[in-house]
Amino acid sequence: MRATVTVMLKNGVLDPQGEAIRHALGALGFEGVEGVRKGKVIELDVADGTTEAQIEEMCEKLLANTVIESYSIALG
Amino acid sequence: MKAAVIVFPGSNCDRDLAVAFEQAGFETKMVWHKDTDLPEGIDLVGVPGGFSYGDYLRCGAIAAQSPIAKALTKHAERGGFVYGVCNGFQILTEMRLLPGALLQNAGIKYICKPVGLRVETTDSAFTSDYSKGQEITVPVAHHEGNYNASPETLARLQGEDRVAFRYTDNPNGSLDDIAGILSENRRVLGMMPHPERMSEPSHGGTDGAALFSSIASGLVSA
C-alpha cells in the first residue's frame, strides 16, 4: 500500500525557493506565473491496513514541522 | 563544573564548542548521539553546529529523534543548562525545547561571515558577563537561519525578555532580527551565530568568550 504525504510551507511563510523559481520562469519567457510554492512529496510503502491516523502521527512527529509546514495525506 | 557536547553524524563544530567550554573551566565530555544517558553530574549540555544527518528531511529533524534527545529533554526539564549553536539551535527548535523554527535564508544563499549582534538581555546565565545593548561581532555560517515564529510566540518572546541576541544588520531575513532566544526558564539558549569561533585572540576576536565565562561564573557563585 502506498501513502503519499505532501508537505508545504504554510501560507504566509516566506518561500524563497518558490520566489526564485518564479523569477526563473519569468526569465524564460513564461508569463503570468503569479506565485510559486515549493514543497516536498514523501512516498511511503506501508503495510496494508495502515490507517490515515497512523500516517498523520508520522507527519506530526517527524515528516512535517507543523510550526512552519502543513501536510496532506493521500492513501492508496 | 561539568559539561557535555553531543556529537551527531555530521556535526562539525563539536570540538570547537568543547574547547570553548574547557577554556571557561568546564570538564567536558563528548557524548555520542546513540547514547541514551548523559554522564553523571552534567551542568551544561552543548548541541553543536554542523549538518547532523546531512540535514536530511529538515535541518535538525532527525537529530531531534535520536536516542540522546530524550536524555537532553530530561536534563532541560530538570533545569539543566542547554546551549545550542547553529545546527544545535535548529535541533532545539525541532525538539520543541525552544519555540519557532529556522527557515532557509531569505536571500537563499549560504552566508558565512562575521556579523554584528546586540546583546538584548543580561538576565540569563549565558549573557550575564555582557552589558545590555553591547554590540559584539561573531561569525555566522548557515543556510537555514531565518528565524520564524507565530505572532503569538513572537509577542511572548518579546514580552518575557527572551530575545538574547539580535542582528544589528539582519543577514538572513529573521523575524524581528532575532539571532538567539531563551527558553521560558531562561536555561536553554539557541542561537545561529558561533561565539565559540570568536573566543580567543587567534580567532581574530574574543567577543564570544563572555558567553562561556557567563555560564561558568553563574555556576561558581551558585
Of A14, A16, A65, the CB nearest to B61: A65
DSSP B149-206: --HHHHHHHHHTT-EEEEESS-SS--GGGEEEEE-TTS-EEEESS-GGGSSBGGGTB-
Quickly state the pLDDT bin for B220 (edges 50, 70, 90).
confident
Quickly state the pLDDT bin for B47 (edges 50, 70, 90).
very high
Residues of A in contact with B58 (CB under 8 A): 65
Rounded to two decimals, what is the model's pTM?
Answer: 0.95
A68 part of contact set with chain B, CB < 8 Å: yes
Residues of A in contact with B149 (CB under 8 A): 67
Cβ partners under 8 Å of residue A57, min gap 6? none
| pLDDT above 80: residue B75 | yes
CA distances to A36, A68, B139, B194, B208 from B50, rounded to whole Å, are 30, 22, 14, 11, 18
Of B65, B99, B104, the CB nearest to A16: B104
CA distances to A23, A53, A68 from A73, rounded to whole Å, are 30, 10, 17
pLDDT digits (tens, 9 = 90+) for B93-105: 999 999 999 999 9
The C-alpha of B178 sits at a distance from chain A's nearest C-alpha, in angstroms, of 16
Provide mean pLDDT across the span B46-75.
Answer: 96
The C-alpha of A27 sits at a distance from chain B's nearest C-alpha, in angstroms, of 18
Closest residue of chain A to B99, computed from CA coordinates: A67
Are B148 and A65 within 8 A, CB to CB?
Answer: no
Quickly state the pLDDT bin for B222 (edges 50, 70, 90).
low
Query: What local confidence, expressed as pLDDT, does residue A12 receive?
Result: 86
Are A62 and B93 within 8 A, CB to CB?
Answer: no
Query: What local confidence, expressed as pLDDT, does residue A49 receive?
Result: 94
Return the percentage of chain B with pLDDT > 90, whole number: 98
| pLDDT above 80: residue B221 | no
Residues of A in contact with B61 (CB under 8 A): 62, 65
Quickly state the pLDDT bin for B218 (edges 50, 70, 90).
confident
Quickly state the pLDDT bin for B159 (edges 50, 70, 90).
very high
Residues of A in contact with B65 (CB under 8 A): 61-62
**DSSP-based three-state secondary structure for B144:** coil
A54 part of contact set with chain B, CB < 8 Å: no
A12 part of contact set with chain B, CB < 8 Å: no
| pLDDT above 80: residue B110 | yes
Which residues of B does the annotation mark as catalytic?
86, 194, 196
Are B57 and A63 within 8 A, CB to CB?
Answer: yes
Query: And the C-alpha cell for B57?
Result: 528531511
Are A67 and B101 within 8 A, CB to CB?
Answer: yes
Cβ partners under 8 Å of residue B66, min gap 6? B8, B33, B34
pLDDT digits (tens, 9 = 90+) for B161-193: 999 999 999 999 999 999 999 999 999 999 999
**What value does the mean pLDDT of chain B take?**
96
